[in-house]
Amino acid sequence: MRRYRAEPFQGEQFAGIRPYSREIVEILKARGHVGSYQILELLGIAPGEAEAIKAVSKQLEELEKFNLIKADGKGWQWIA
């Protein structure tokens, strides 16, 4: 299931609407600030799951583009 959800964020040529992970948004909203490794840990993503890590990173970058979160060097902060 995680692989299916991550698929739209893995390719550069995706066309359409990308469904963001509700889990990522809920984690950031609830905690306010979360470290990059901590997000992966909370999502249950192991360090060796390169494709899942890329998908999460892409989602975080997209959320930042929409001014919902910001990176501060140590992690991510919910600002919306």
Domains of the chain from N-terminus onward: 2-11+20-78 (1.10.10)
C-alpha to C-alpha distance for 60 and 24, rounded to whole angstroms: 8
User: What is the enclosing helix (H) or strand (E) of 69?
Assistant: strand 69-71
- Taking only the tens of pLDDT, the chain with its 80 residues reads 445 445 554 556 555 545 668 999 999 999 999 999 999 999 999 999 999 999 999 999 999 999 999 999 899 999 98
Query: pTM of the prediction?
Result: 0.74
CA distances from 13 to 6, 7, 8, 54 (A): 14, 11, 9, 15
Q: Which residues of 40-73 are buried (b: 16+ CB within 10 A; e: fewer)?
A: bebbebeeebeebbebbebbbeebeeeebbeeee
